[in-house]
Amino acid sequence: MTDLWQNAMDHAVALARKAGSLVRDAVQNDMKEKFPTHSFIGEESVAAGEPCVLTDNPTWIVDPVDGTTNFVHGYPFVAVSIGFAVDRKLEFGVVYSCIEDKMYTARKGKGAFCNGQILNVSDQKEISQSIIATEFGSNRDIEVVDKIFSSMRKILCLPIHGIRGVGTAATNMCLVASGCVEAYYEIGIHCWDIAAGAIIVTEAGGVLMDVDGGPLDLMSRRVVAANNKIIAERIVKEIDAFTPLRDDASTETED
């Protein structure tokens, strides 16, 4: 019996690996062939030592598997996240929540959609009636963990209706765009986790900002995405902000 389950698990791991590499190849290689003059920022390419710098050149910002931990454990929220920026501004975003088979899309000035249905953020203005999404992230440094808990504690006790998080930043942002949660915030994410979701949120009528209330900086690894400014600014007041190493820290170029 033990061997039988071990076989099943080995099969699941092999299947997951196959699916992951299919997605990776499709997203990265196909795009490089089709748009050879475009720039490319992706989780895997940056891990392989390629630069992570946003220039005016048309740039694909891609996470083939957002929710890697979910993917490995079979937790059913995994997304393909593809953002596209020109002149450092997002033009469109596509997030495919694979297990749910939900295709979220948004193009600048043209609205946001899920499987073709238009998306609108929630119209809730009362923080006490809101659900807020966030994540614990992957940093296990005790000071960082304390700040994450302290922010959550303060936000929970405002009070709010609840805290949620599905383990993928891209999907959390699409849930803001869908009106299911009022806001999502996180410190420690990367540009490829949030680029596509960012334009999906704004095209659904939402707002983006930094965790200190300033404008969102895609490379800063900090984000607040909310249905409106009132909710976003209320959350910002409770966040114990910290500053992770920027995504472009080692590759910054002069303008």
Q: Which residues bind ligand LIP (CB under 6 A)?
A: 43, 63, 66-68, 135, 137-138, 167-169, 186, 188-190, 193
Cβ 10 to ligand LIP shortest distance, Å: 23
The Cα 96–Cα 119 span in angstroms is 15
| 8 A C-beta contact, residue 233 and residue 183 | no
9-31 burial by CB neighbour count: b if 16+ within 10 A, else e?
eeeeeeebeeebeebbeebbeeb
Is 126 within any annotated ligand binding site?
no
Cβ 218 to ligand LIP shortest distance, Å: 14
For ligand LIP, the closer of residues 81 and 124 by Cβ is: 81
CB closest to ligand LIP, residue no: 135
For ligand LIP, the closer of residues 92 and 192 by Cβ is: 192
Is 66 within any annotated ligand binding site?
yes
| 8 A C-beta contact, residue 56 and residue 87 | yes
Is 135 within any annotated ligand binding site?
no
For ligand LIP, the closer of residues 66 and 248 by Cβ is: 66
Is 63 within any annotated ligand binding site?
yes
Cβ 134 to ligand LIP shortest distance, Å: 8
Q: Which residue has the tokens 């953002």?
A: 83
First to last CA, the chain: 62
Cite the annotated binding site for Mg(2+) by residue number: 43, 63, 66, 193
